[in-house]
Structure 1
Amino acid sequence: MAKADGLDLIAVGRSCVDLYGEQTGGRLEDMLSFAKYIGGSPTNTAVGASRLGLDAGLLTRVGEDHFGRFIREQLAREGVDTRGVVADPARLTALAFLGIRDPDTFPLVFYRENCADMALEAGDIDPAFVASARAVLINGTHLSQPGVFAASMEACRLARAAGGKVVFDIDYRPVLWGLAGKDAGENRFVADAAVTARLQQVLPLCDLIVGTEEEVHILGGSTDTIDALRAIRERTPALLVCKRGAQGCSAFADAIPDSLDQGVVGRGFAVEVFNVLGAGDAFMAGFLRGWLRGAPLAECCEWANACGAIVVSRHGCSPAMPTWEELQAFLRDEARPFRLREDAALEHLHWATTRATGYPSLTVLAMDHRSQFEALCERTGAAPERIAGFKSLALRAVDRVAAGDPGFGVLLDGRFGMRALEAAAAYPYWIGRPIELPGSRPLEFESSADVATELATWPANHVVKCLALYHPDDPQELRERQERQLLRLQDAARKTRHELLVEIIASRGGEVAEDTAARAIERLYALGIRPDWWKLEPDDRAGAWRGIEDAIVRNDPHCRGVVLLGLSAPQDELIASFAAAAQAPIVKGFAVGRTIFADAAEQWFAGTIDDEAAIDDLARRFAILVEAWRDAKQRAQTQAIRETA
């Protein structure tokens, strides 16, 4: 366990933005678009360690720029302590461009001239912060320049003085030592006596040293791995771990034998190599999860090998890191496919367990209506151009009620609500955005011919909302056509890394019995559709919600939850339906529109009220529903406690 009020691990060193080519199988010169992730070896390991359940922090510098803020925000989402992340106003955040050409070629270009993380200095290090951790992790890149060398050594000394451990990831990149051309970032080894001498200065402080065979060669000063390990052993009693790619690893706690196979070797895993970048950082995270928690050495090696195997199957470094639950599932599954990224269950588990913090509640003002606002303009004689203005008022109304609480949200469309969507970027609220063509049955998308192309233009925090007028007893041809569209949409949302909300309205297609919604959900789950959210019709039958919750929990226990839609129901009728829905923990709140905005919109478009009056009315009606939902939840929780007492 971590020290009281402290951390298991503090990683020190590189922190950058990775720009990963999204096209594979070609030169970096021919890649057209890039995915943005946080990167840098220590940063990747901190993320991996946090996902595996360790309390991890990072000690580095980032620029006081957009990318620096992105790194800090993403680290916070990952649960990594950022107290040691210093904002540098004089330097930019480092960048790295990466690509996947073939199983052996991974072009890599570093943009690290006078970058923020290489300006880390001993004065940036808070002794109390370092002393709070059980271990610090340093890496070889941050021994390459005097300032960062001094900072790394200071972190080691402070950790040792406080009784902590020192972990050394050799992390040798010749280009970052000036030993290779700037276009040779993927080059892993250039022999250099001066580098060896610099790296060896840290050895007396180390408790654990991890590296590939090439990295062992540079640290030991020999291209014979056994000889290099023995040279290292002469200078340190640390546990030595040599990563061996597809052969797993070998660990040496004492004297170095004549063969790598005579070390402690954890179970290896045969998977197709898609991307080796980041696998070593995942290996380190997996090993530290065991080592810092006192697991047997062979188990530490097995977890490390497994984490590396998972990451070599995926795009990216930090986003590919497995969670603890995911790692356990991987270790249990002996029937995993060789092409691991085709394991749908594991990929869904990865997605579901790496999302940002969950939502204990979510109350949303739904303003994504399009055809209804067009009809309102026709009825009142208002110009359609005014619709955008009213939707922007709705965002202000939500903010008045929410006052910064991220458990609130808005649903806004890109056709009439784009100005409000743009403004919403400055707020901490949940944002949903519709993709369906209003009223389409069978389902069609309001976008380009390729829905993935459309979603690729959306910011990452926009949740894709899709309304399907879907009944489980629809004619087979209609039902299957709609299902194909939902499957297509889910595939697009996963590939563009957007969360998905599926809204089901069955009442337009037939009678809604107590089990209708549950049967629709079961059917979609059976097809492999696993949305992050469901949006469902109100129902005053408790049995209906028990069936819905059972279907969701059995098929996807990681589902974020259900929000209720309003269907223009009168306020009192909608509030009355809250009582039954609130009894199901899976129901987190509501996403209601016309019940709240209908009267204000009618008057505002007719010119009988001004902006402030419209905001007042929207906020008042929204607040009434919010309080009613909270009251219903509180009553349901009180009743549940009484029943179990």
Structure 2
Amino acid sequence: MTERTSIRVTHDVLTIGRISVDVYPNEIGIPLGEVNTFGKYLGGSATNVAVAAARHGRSSSVITRVGDDEFGRYLERELDKFSVDRSHVRRIDGMQTPVTFCAIMPPDDFPLYFYGRLPTAPDWKIQADELDLDAIRSARIFWSTVTGLSQEPSAAAHIAAHEVRDRNALTEGQHTILDLDYRPMFWESAEAARARIAQVLPHVTVAIGNDTECAVAVGAGTPDEQADRLLAAGVEIAVVKLGPAGVMAKTRTERVVSAPVPVQTVNGLGAGDSFGGAFCHGLLSGWPLEEILDYANAAGAIVASRLACSDDMPTPSEVNGLLAERGRNVPGLLTSEVSE
């Protein structure tokens, strides 16, 4: 058995990557060009996961970059509002903070329009020599996304961060999670993405993705085949989202499928990030894999039934309430309890 070292732990959940101002229409079900009023929110997948984890009582932080502008300062205030530590957030002179528009066309059409992100954005300017490697090394969970690998110098920073999260150097209960979050508009090709993913997978303990994202990472196949390939690459828990069929997770000794928690969908965009923050909470709580998946599914469903992402991340009492209402298993911890 590999001997695990003892190191100082600072954050329960430390994420790295995308941040933006999300601009969502207040008018549902009409084309974006016909919308008259909008609301603005903190957004960006890695940042949303940090917010979701904080909602579950976890100490969380995000490594990211914003422009030195009013939108950047707005995002900093929002991080403070959500109790997400922003000591790893920096402003980039001369760059604009990205803005992301979305049309809300339930039940399953939520097109995104990225402004100020291409050809590059502040969070793709994270540099390896700026990283607090001690904070990365000591976090109980370190979360990154494939989008962060799509441009330099961000890609080199992500690879450097993963290298200090060597699986053999992690203490018991630490995890390195890769969100397979593949967005084709940010890549030259799926093959380029797969090559970058291959560089970090040896350092990853948990990989999470849907069928398309898993196919980019390890090739097309059935969910079980994709999970087995992720496990063969060294991952300890492979999570494959099955769409309407729920989600499956496999380890080397266990296979669990969690059925979805049906809700009336308003905006499906934040569901995956809510799932991620809740998954982190369950993992850190030491719950059985089946309970983690059920809890994360319910957390994702709650956000899908609401308009915003960060602002609508659920609390443990809301998630447990939905599980109980639907006759699903509620994890063994008290609603207000967070394991140490």
Q: 2:61 aligned with 1:57, yes or no?
A: yes
Residue pairs, 1:13-52, within 5 angstroms: 13-52=17-56
Alpha carbons 1:168, 1:210 under 8 Å: kept: yes
Q: 2:124 aligns with which of 114, 118, 126?
A: 118
* Alignment-derived partner of residue 302 in structure 1: 294
Give TM-score, length-normalised by structure 2.
Answer: 0.87
- Which shows bigger deviation, 235-244 or 7-16? 235-244
Residue pairs, 1:329-344, within 5 angstroms: 329-334=321-326
Shift of 1:104: 2.1
* Matched residue type, 2:208: V
Q: 2:81 aligned with 1:77, yes or no?
A: yes
* Matched residue type, 1:271: V
Cα RMSD for the two superposed structures: 2.1
* Matched residue type, 2:247: C
Alpha carbons 2:180, 2:213 under 8 Å: kept: yes
Task: For 2:82 and 2:48, locate their aligned partners in 1 and report how far apart those are by CA, in whole Å.
Answer: 11
Q: 1:277 to 1:234 in 2, by over 3 A?
A: same
> Gapped runs of 5+ residues in structure 1?
180-191, 256-261, 337-352, 354-645
Q: 2:311 aligned with 1:319, yes or no?
A: yes
Task: For 2:165 and 2:270, locate their aligned partners in 1 and report how far apart those are by CA, in whole Å.
Answer: 26
Q: 2:288 aligned with 1:290, yes or no?
A: no
Segments of 4+ moved more than 6 angstroms: none
* Alignment-derived partner of residue 231 in structure 2: 233
Residue pairs, 1:169-568, within 5 angstroms: 169-178=179-188, 192-254=190-252, 263-334=255-326
List per-residue Cα deviations over 1:451-487 (Å, max 9, x = no partner). Answer: xxxxxxxxxxxxxxxxxxxxxxxxxxxxxxxxxxxxx
Alpha carbons 1:168, 1:206 under 8 Å: kept: yes
* Alignment-derived partner of residue 332 in structure 2: none
- Which shows bigger deviation, 155-164 or 133-142? 155-164
Partner SS, residue 300 of structure 2 = helix
Alpha carbons 1:246, 1:269 under 8 Å: kept: no
Shift of 1:229: 2.9
Shift of 1:289: 0.6
* Matched residue type, 2:183: R
Structure that is richer in helix per residue: 1
Q: 2:70 aligned with 1:66, yes or no?
A: yes
Alpha carbons 1:48, 1:322 under 8 Å: kept: yes
List per-residue Cα deviations over 1:429-458 (Å, max 9, x = no partner). Answer: xxxxxxxxxxxxxxxxxxxxxxxxxxxxxx
* Matched residue type, 1:167: I
Shift of 1:267: 4.9
Q: 2:137 aligns with which of 105, 110, 131?
A: 131
Alpha carbons 1:214, 1:223 under 8 Å: kept: no
* Matched residue type, 2:300: G
Shift of 1:178: 4.9
Alpha carbons 1:24, 1:101 under 8 Å: kept: yes
Alpha carbons 2:245, 2:260 under 8 Å: kept: yes
Alpha carbons 2:295, 2:320 under 8 Å: kept: no
List per-residue Cα deviations over 1:518-559 (Å, max 9, x = no partner). Answer: xxxxxxxxxxxxxxxxxxxxxxxxxxxxxxxxxxxxxxxxxx
Q: 1:178 to 1:96 in 2, by over 3 A?
A: farther
Task: For 2:203 and 2:284, locate their aligned partners in 1 and report how far apart those are by CA, in whole Å.
Answer: 17
Alpha carbons 1:237, 1:254 under 8 Å: kept: no
Task: For 2:259 and 2:297, locate their aligned partners in 1 and report how far apart those are by CA, in whole Å.
Answer: 7
Task: For 2:144 and 2:322, locate their aligned partners in 1 and report how far apart those are by CA, in whole Å.
Answer: 29
Alpha carbons 1:135, 1:159 under 8 Å: kept: no
Alpha carbons 1:46, 1:80 under 8 Å: kept: yes
* Matched residue type, 1:126: D
List per-residue Cα deviations over 1:73-119 (Å, max 9, x = no partner). Answer: 11111111111111111311111111112312112111202311111
Q: 1:314 to 1:178 in 2, by over 3 A?
A: farther
Q: 1:267 to 1:150 in 2, by over 3 A?
A: same
Alpha carbons 1:94, 1:117 under 8 Å: kept: no
Shift of 1:197: 2.1
Task: For 2:277 and 2:271, locate their aligned partners in 1 and report how far apart those are by CA, in whole Å.
Answer: 10
- Which shows bigger deviation, 265-274 or 275-284? 265-274
Shift of 1:6: 1.5
> Gapped runs of 5+ residues in structure 2?
1-6, 329-335
| Paired positions, count | 317
Q: 1:115 to 1:209 in 2, by over 3 A?
A: same
List per-residue Cα deviations over 1:199-249 (Å, max 9, x = no partner). Answer: 222111100011112211111121543433333333223210111233221
* Alignment-derived partner of residue 393 in structure 1: none
Partner SS, residue 233 of structure 2 = coil
Alpha carbons 1:193, 1:221 under 8 Å: kept: no
List per-residue Cα deviations over 1:40-60 (Å, max 9, x = no partner). Answer: 101010000000111111001
* Alignment-derived partner of residue 142 in structure 1: 148
Alpha carbons 1:8, 1:134 under 8 Å: kept: yes
* Alignment-derived partner of residue 586 in structure 1: none
Q: 1:306 to 1:29 in 2, by over 3 A?
A: same
Shift of 1:65: 1.1
* Alignment-derived partner of residue 162 in structure 2: 156
List per-residue Cα deviations over 1:170-215 (Å, max 9, x = no partner). Answer: 1111112256xxxxxxxxxxxx222222222211110001111221
* Alignment-derived partner of residue 90 in structure 1: 94
Shift of 1:5: 6.5
Give TM-score, length-normalised by structure 1.
Answer: 0.47
List per-residue Cα deviations over 1:131-159 (Å, max 9, x = no partner). Answer: 33112101010011131111111222223
Task: For 2:223 and 2:294, locate their aligned partners in 1 and report how far apart those are by CA, in whole Å.
Answer: 21
Q: 2:200 aligned with 1:167, yes or no?
A: no
Alpha carbons 1:141, 1:172 under 8 Å: kept: yes
Partner SS, residue 264 of structure 1 = strand
Task: For 2:278 and 2:300, locate their aligned partners in 1 and report how far apart those are by CA, in whole Å.
Answer: 8
Q: Quick one: percent identity of the two aligned structures?
A: 36
Partner SS, residue 298 of structure 1 = helix
Shift of 1:63: 1.0
Task: For 1:304 and 1:172, locate their aligned partners in 2 and report how far apart those are by CA, in whole Å.
Answer: 20
Q: 1:223 to 1:33 in 2, by over 3 A?
A: farther
* Alignment-derived partner of residue 333 in structure 2: none
Alpha carbons 2:61, 2:85 under 8 Å: kept: yes
